[in-house]
Structure 1
Amino acid sequence: MTLDMQWMTMAVMLLSGLGMGTVFDGYRVVSHELKFPRWWLPVLDVIYWMAAALVVFRVLYASNNGEVRAYVFIGLAIGIILYYLLLSKAVIVTVKWLIRAVQAFISFVLKCLDIIIVKPLLLLYKLLKIILGFGSAFTIFLLKIVIQLVRPFWRLLVWIIRPILRPIGRWLSPYMNKWQVAEKLRKLGLQIVNLWTKWFRR
């Protein structure tokens, strides 16, 4: 291996050390700012070192066919030391700023969605509820008027057909008792009243 290739490999390892330091500080800041559970940190450390070893070996293989020499470790060590002396604080500040910027952007998007979509839908729901409530009250009022108008004719009709209904009622009475028609109608009426109260009398 020529001297130029050795210096080239050492420079590449130096850059790899800088990259390792940057990624390490970056994921540490992210895990702290986003409040990852503590038990995640050892797992992330293992993943980081495995990924770093694979990347460094791949870079080393591309630069000198994977030959491991002393200058390889010297280059890595120099890169890591230079990073922590010169760039660590700047990277940490930058990563924190990026996290704040992303959080602010997400908060802005959520507020826009709330103003543009959620609040209009809630307003539309309340408006429809008011309209349906008013419509139902007006319908009940009209039905009461109609019932009052029809009541005399209904009573007259019942008085006329009562002689016919009595035999039919006696004939149907055993079946109605057997099928519990009155009880089922009563339960159905209670369910309708409960639904009405739930949706229109809040």
Structure 2
Amino acid sequence: MSLSTQFITMLTMISSGFYIGVIQDTFRRFTPYWKNRRIMTYVMEIGFWLTQTLLLFYILFLVNGGEIRLYIILACLLGFSTYQAVAATSYKKLLEHIIRMVSAVYRFFVKVVQAVIISPIKGVIFILYKIIMWLIKLILKLILFVIIVIITPIKWLLLFIFRLLPKKVQGFILKLAGIYSTMKNKCIKIWKYVSLKRR
């Protein structure tokens, strides 16, 4: 490598080391969100360091064709140490400030979406639900009224015919009605008993 290439490589590796310090602190800031999930922690750690290693090697490949020498590693460590000594505290404070700003913007947009989109949609759905339920009740009442209007004359006619029948026939019909009512009640009791047994 020429001197200019070596100089550019050193500057690049120092900057890369500085970048590693920044990105590591950023990664560590969000680690508590998956710290209690062991598999997730392993996946994130391996993925993070693998990604950073590939990125550094790609940068090195662009600068000097991918040659790795001792001074390159030392330059990277120098950049990392410089970050830790000079900029780590300030960057962490800046990162917290950025996170608070992003969180505030996110909450603001959530409230806007809630107020402008979700709440009106919920209101419209609630109104439609009330209207539909009112229509269903109205239709059921109309159907019940029609049934009553149809059945009532038939009931009167049957009652009139029943009164014209001889007493013995009336007694027989009443007896049949009593037997039917008794059987109906017994069937209901048996059904309830079976249902309770199934539970």
Which residue of the other structure, out of 121, 126, 145, is the alignment partner of 1:122?
A: 126
Aligned match of 2:57: 57
1:36 to 34, 37, 44: 34
Unaligned runs of 5+ residues in structure 1 are 160-181, 188-202
Q: Structure 1: how far apart are the matches of 2:65 and 2:7? A: 14
Q: Which moved more, 1:124-133 or 1:35-44?
A: 35-44
Q: Aligned residue for 1:135? A: 139
TM-score when scaled to structure 1? 0.64
Identity of counterpart residues, as a percentage?
20
Ranges in structure 2 where 5+ consecutive residues have no aligned partner: 164-182, 189-199
Partner of 1:101: 105
Deviation at 1:19, TM superposition (A): 2.5
Give, in whole Å, the separation in 2 of the partners of 1:27 and 1:106. Answer: 25
Distance 1:101-1:64 versus aligned 2 partners, 3 A rule: same
Q: Per-residue deviation at 1:110?
A: 4.4
| 1:9 aligned residue | 9
CA separation in 2, counterparts of 1:95 and 1:12?
A: 28
CA spacing shift, 1:54–1:128, aligned 2, 3 Å: same
| Residue number in structure 1 paired with 2:177 | none
* Distance across 1 between alignment mates of 2:97 and 2:109: 18
CA shift digits 1:67-103 (9 cap, x unpaired) = 1223322332233233343252223432443244335
1:65 Cα shift? 1.1
The alpha carbon displacement at 1:22 in A equals: 2.8
> 1:22 touches 1:91 (CA, 8 Å); kept in 2?
no
Kept in 2: contact 1:29–1:95 (CA 8 A): no
Shift of 1:17: 2.1
The question of whether the paired residues in 2 share the 8 Å contact of 1:26 and 1:95 is answered with: no
> Match of 1:67, SS?
coil
C-alpha separation in 2, matches of 1:100 and 1:24: 24
- Give the superposition deviation at 1:36: 2.0
Q: Which runs of structure 2 are paired with 1:1-202 in the superposition (5 Å)?
A: 1-32=1-32, 35-38=33-36, 39=38, 40-84=40-84, 85-86=86-87, 87-89=90-92, 90-106=94-110, 108-153=112-157
Aligned-partner Cα distance in 2 for 1:30–1:99: 14
Rounded Cα–Cα distance in structure 2 between residues aligned with 1:76 and 1:27 = 19
The worse-fitting range, judged by mean Cα deviation, of 21-30 and 1-10 is 21-30
CA contact (8 A) 1:61 1:67 kept: yes
Secondary structure in 2 matching 1:53: helix
TM-score (norm 2): 0.64
Bigger shift: 84-93 or 116-125? 84-93
Q: 2:191 aligns to what?
A: none
By how many angstroms is 1:52 displaced? 0.9
